[in-house]
């Protein structure tokens, strides 16, 4: 037997063929038309060494972001994740048994999720957090639905400075169900511009820092929100430096948790952060893990308030979400524990500094900053009309450049959104500046 990865011996195969009464493998597949068979074009079998070599050649055609200077953020961020995070998170005990349906045998997973919730509360300044939603965009849509349940009203005002794709998902979730989504514009600072909200408005949703990287003035937003609830979309790492939305009276805080230790895997998996006030907990969607004591008085963890959920509440559940991204939440919990408050603050501070340095250098080259408001680690700047072509050309130079914004915000003209995180080096910046010339 030359192929250790094929479990059947020649004798096994012969015995099976004999049992079903066919003489050979070819005979077994004889009913498949010859034309269909040849279209598969499968080569003859090869030994392990040759197969490994071939697969390596194929994988080398992939672009690895490890080799790229990444100035593209817009919701997904390249960060350094210490090796120990994956050593722990990928332990089979966590990886294969990630769904804690049976609390009594899932104590490790439940404890990790409970700690995740606790850390999300600390970062956002909120009182309760769930054990995760699918991603930032759907978490925002769920927050709007929750505000409708809480207020009995059916309209949400969303800042145009909220991620364009999040707003698209929001509309998909709400409009076909008869709810109203109204957009609020922005001023020259890049911050949201709000009219006094009317009595029909259930909630106002803003992003902090917003899609342009600009830090919204949440005091101003609160002052304009009247009786409406305040929903704040966050990027969690920024909260290590910024005053948390909870301090400004936010009612629901949501966000994408990818930047807490998750790699940039295609579109996911991602991590939907969702936190709120304790008084609203019964209208909150998603899983909640609680800490309690068992019969012997030992600390124990369990899923709580499940009467809100679909498997018990059926049609009147708070949400049709019936799962979560438990393993992503677990990775985030491990990442946050490994970094600690000081480590996260360091990551945030370095990202802030790198972005501000990059902005200064671009300004020196004549690329003007588009908005005057203070930014965190992303900023919008003016670019020449042909920039989108240059953006594609830069990819060949292993630079993932600032995102052209014209498709998302035609009213801004020719601009791009630049991002820098803690992994950006002086050398990366020189490379980008050279490519921008």
Partner 1 sequence: MKKYTKTHEWVVVEDKVATVGITNHAQEQLGDVVYVDLPEVGREVKKGEVVASIESVKAAADVYAPLSGKIVEVNEKLDTEPELLNRDPEGEGWLFKMEISDESELEDLLDEQAYQEFCAQE
Q: Which residues bind partner 1 (CB under 8 A)?
A: 282, 307, 312-313, 316
Closest CB to partner 1 among 51 and 312? 312
- The least distance separating partner 1 from the CB of residue 316, rounded to whole angstroms, comes to 7
Cα separation, 406 vs 119, in Å, equals: 37
> Residue 330 contacts by C-beta under 8 Å, 6 or more apart in sequence?
89, 94, 98, 109, 112, 113, 116
- The least distance separating partner 1 from the CB of residue 147, rounded to whole angstroms, comes to 16
Cα separation, 61 vs 45, in Å, equals: 23
Q: Is there a contact between 260 and 336 (Cβ–Cβ < 8 Å)? A: yes
Closest CB to partner 1 among 291 and 306? 306
Neighbouring CB atoms inside 10 A of 305's CB total 15
Name beta bridge partners: 184.
159
- The least distance separating partner 1 from the CB of residue 150, rounded to whole angstroms, comes to 12
- The least distance separating partner 1 from the CB of residue 189, rounded to whole angstroms, comes to 40
Tokens representing 345? Answer: 């603050």
Name the phi and psi angles at 275, rounded to 5. Answer: -135, 150
Cα separation, 15 vs 21, in Å, equals: 10
Closest CB to partner 1 among 46 and 313? 313
- The least distance separating partner 1 from the CB of residue 1, rounded to whole angstroms, comes to 56
In a 13 Å sphere around the CA of 391, the CA atoms on its Cβ side amount to 20
Cα separation, 123 vs 121, in Å, equals: 6
Closest CB to partner 1 among 46 and 282? 282
Closest CB to partner 1 among 223 and 307? 307
- The least distance separating partner 1 from the CB of residue 152, rounded to whole angstroms, comes to 8
- The least distance separating partner 1 from the CB of residue 196, rounded to whole angstroms, comes to 25
Closest CB to partner 1 among 321 and 417? 321
Of 285, 270, 256, whose CA–CA distance to 326 is shortest?
270
Closest CB to partner 1 among 177 and 316? 316
């Amino acid at each position: 037997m030359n192929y250790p990865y094929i479990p059947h011996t020649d004798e096994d195969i012969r015995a099976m063929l004999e049992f079903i009464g066919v003489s050979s493998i070819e005979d077994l597949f004889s009913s498949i038309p010859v034309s269909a068979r040849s279209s598969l074009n499968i080569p003859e079998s090869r030994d392990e060494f040759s197969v490994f070599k071939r697969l390596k050649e194929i994988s080398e055609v992939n672009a690895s972001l490890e080799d790229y200077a990444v100035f593209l953020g817009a919701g997904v961020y390249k960060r350094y994740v210490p090796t120990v995070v994956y050593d722990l998170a990928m332990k089979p005990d966590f990886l294969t048994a990630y769904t804690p349906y049976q609390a009594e045998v899932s104590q490790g997973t439940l404890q990790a999720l409970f700690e995740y919730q606790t850390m999300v509360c600390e970062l956002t300044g909120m009182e309760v957090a769930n054990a995760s939603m699918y991603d930032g965009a759907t978490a925002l849509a769920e927050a709007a639905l929750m505000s409708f349940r809480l207020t009995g009203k059916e309209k949400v005002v969303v800042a145009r400075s909220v991620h364009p794709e999040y707003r698209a998902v929001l509309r998909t979730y709400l409009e076909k169900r008869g709810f109203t989504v109204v957009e609020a514009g922005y001023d020259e600072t890049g911050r949201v511009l709000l009219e006094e909200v009317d009595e029909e408005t259930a909630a106002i949703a803003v992003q902090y820092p917003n899609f342009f990287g600009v830090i919204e003035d949440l005091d101003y937003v609160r002052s304009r929100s009247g009786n409406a609830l305040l929903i704040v979309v966050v990027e969690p790492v920024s909260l290590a430096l910024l005053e948390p939305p909870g301090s400004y009276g936010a009612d629901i805080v949501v966000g994408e948790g990818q930047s807490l230790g998750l790699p940039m895997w295609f579109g996911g998996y991602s991590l939907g952060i969702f936190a709120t006030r304790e008084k609203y907990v019964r209208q909150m969607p998603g899983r909640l893990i609680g800490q309690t004591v068992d019969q012997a008085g030992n600390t124990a963890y369990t899923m709580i308030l499940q009467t809100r959920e679909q498997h018990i509440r059926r049609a009147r559940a708070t949400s049709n979400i019936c799962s979560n991204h438990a393993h992503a939440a677990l990775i985030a919990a491990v990442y946050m524990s490994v970094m600690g408050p000081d480590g996260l603050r360091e990551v945030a501070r370095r990202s802030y500094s790198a972005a501000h340095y990059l902005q200064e250098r671009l300004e020196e080259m004549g690329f003007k900053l588009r908005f005057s408001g203070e930014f965190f680690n992303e900023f919008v700047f003016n670019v020449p009309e042909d920039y989108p072509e240059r953006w594609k050309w830069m990819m060949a130079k292993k630079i993932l450049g600032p995102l052209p914004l014209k498709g998302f915000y035609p009213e801004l003209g020719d601009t791009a959104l630049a991002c820098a995180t803690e992994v950006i080096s002086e050398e990366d910046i020189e490379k980008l500046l050279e490519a921008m010339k």
